[in-house]
């Protein structure tokens, strides 16, 4: 083969190789660089999805906040309603002509004053107890009242200065807890589970739950119009305080066993 023909053949072979290589190693569509408009659409879709999810989350949070505010308002209003009702009952009691002066027998007064405003016969009526269980509740209650008064008397110191009587009751935590635990056991034995649940939910307790747990200080002041004021608080501040003004017999009733004769 002469030289010109060889050159032409080699040139053709090289060209063919380049063409075949270009075809074999051509980039596929998956390897192509994404177009700007496609990237923009993908980012926009992701952004829209995140925005929708965030919007739904905000709606759920808003609904929960609304429920929480409603619950807080219920709790706050319930407390206010109880305070208003208690104050109204106190005013009615103080202004009732049937209860003024000697119009009420001392034995009918609440033994624990405003600390426990419930009476056994009222509790029995609310719970719908039959006559035998009603009698058992009242007799058990009275026996515990006497036991509590006996313990208070053992730990009390009473001083009188003019129209003011001051009573200091030292704590007796062990005896007090034992007594309340025994009372709880008696109530559990007397009431059905449904009645016990109602007893708790309606706050129908008949004895102070804090018997003997802290030092109590009481100041009773006789007023000129036949009434009296009674202020009570715990020395450590844990049990709060109470105040009553009304007929003298009612102001003195929770403390008659501690007064000097």
Question: Can you give the pLDDT at residue 120?
Answer: 95
Rounded to 5 degrees, what angle do the CA atoms 253, 126, 194 make? 125
156-175 pLDDT per residue, tens = 999 999 999 999 999 999 99
In sequence order, what are the residues at sequence separation of 6 or more whose Cβ sits closer than 8 angstroms to the Cβ of residue 251? 220, 227, 228, 229, 230, 244, 245
* pLDDT single digits (tens) 79-131: 555 555 555 544 544 444 333 334 444 445 788 888 898 999 999 999 999 99
The mean pLDDT value for 203-210 works out to 93
Residue 12: helix, strand or coil by DSSP? helix
Segment 46-75 mean pLDDT: 60
What residue numbers bound the domain in which 227 lies?
106-258
What are the E-state strand segments in the chain?
156-161, 164-169, 216-222, 227-234, 241-247
Assigned domain for 185 exists? yes
Contact by Cβ (8 Å): 240, 97: no
Asked whether residue 222 falls in the same domain as residue 191, the answer is: yes
Write 222-228 long-range contacts (CB < 8 A, 24+).
Answer: 222/163, 222/164, 222/248, 223/163, 223/248, 226/100, 226/101, 227/94, 227/251, 228/252
pLDDT of residue 146: 96
Q: Report how many domains make up the chain.
A: 2
Considering only CA atoms, give the Rg of the chain: 42
Q: In terms of domains, do 184 and 232 share one?
A: yes
pTM above 0.85, yes or no: no
Same domain, yes or no, for 153 and 250? Answer: yes
Look at residue 116 and tell me if it is in a domain.
yes
164 and 133, same domain (yes or no):
yes
Does 155 share its domain with 219?
Answer: yes
Distance of CA 75 to the CA centre of its chain: 8
Domain assignment present for 14: no
- Please indicate, yes or no, whether residues 88 and 209 belong to a single structural domain of this protein: no
Note the pLDDT of residue 239: 63
**What pLDDT is attached to residue 184?**
96
Cα(156)–Cα(163) distance, integer angstroms: 19
Which residue matches tokens 């719908």? Answer: 128
> Domain check: are 60 and 129 in the same one?
no
β-pairing verdict for 164-169 and 156-161: antiparallel
Alpha carbon dihedral 224, 230, 231, 234, in 10-degree steps, equals 150
Q: Is the pLDDT of residue 30 over 70?
A: no
d(CA 127, CA 205): 12
């Amino acid at each position: 083969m002469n030289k010109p023909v060889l050159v032409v053949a080699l040139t053709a072979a090289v060209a063919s190789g380049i063409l075949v290589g270009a075809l074999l190693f051509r980039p596929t569509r998956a390897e192509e660089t994404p177009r700007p408009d496609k990237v923009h659409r993908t980012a926009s879709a992701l952004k829209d999805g995140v925005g929708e999810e965030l919007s739904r989350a905000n709606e759920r949070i808003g609904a929960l906040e609304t429920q929480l505010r409603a619950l807080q308002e219920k709790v706050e209003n319930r407390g206010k309603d109880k305070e208003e009702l208690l104050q109204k009952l106190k005013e009615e009691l103080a202004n009732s002509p049937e209860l003024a002066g000697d119009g009420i027998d001392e034995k009918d007064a609440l033994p624990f004053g405003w600390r426990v405003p419930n009476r056994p016969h009222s509790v029995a009526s609310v719970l719908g107890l039959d006559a035998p269980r009603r009698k058992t509740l009242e007799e058990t209650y009275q026996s515990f009242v006497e036991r509590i008064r006996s313990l208070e008397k053992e730990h009390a110191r009473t001083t009188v200065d003019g129209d003011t009587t001051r009573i200091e009751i030292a704590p007796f935590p062990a005896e007090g807890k034992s007594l309340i635990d025994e009372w709880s056991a008696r109530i559990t034995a007397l009431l059905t589970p449904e009645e016990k649940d109602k007893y708790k939910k309606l706050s129908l307790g008949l004895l102070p739950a804090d018997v003997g747990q802290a030092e109590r200080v009481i100041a009773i002041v006789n007023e000129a119009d036949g009434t009296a004021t009674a202020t009570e608080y715990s020395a450590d501040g844990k049990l709060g305080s109470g105040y009553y003004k009304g007929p003298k017999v009612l102001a003195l009733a929770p403390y008659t066993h501690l007064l000097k004769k």
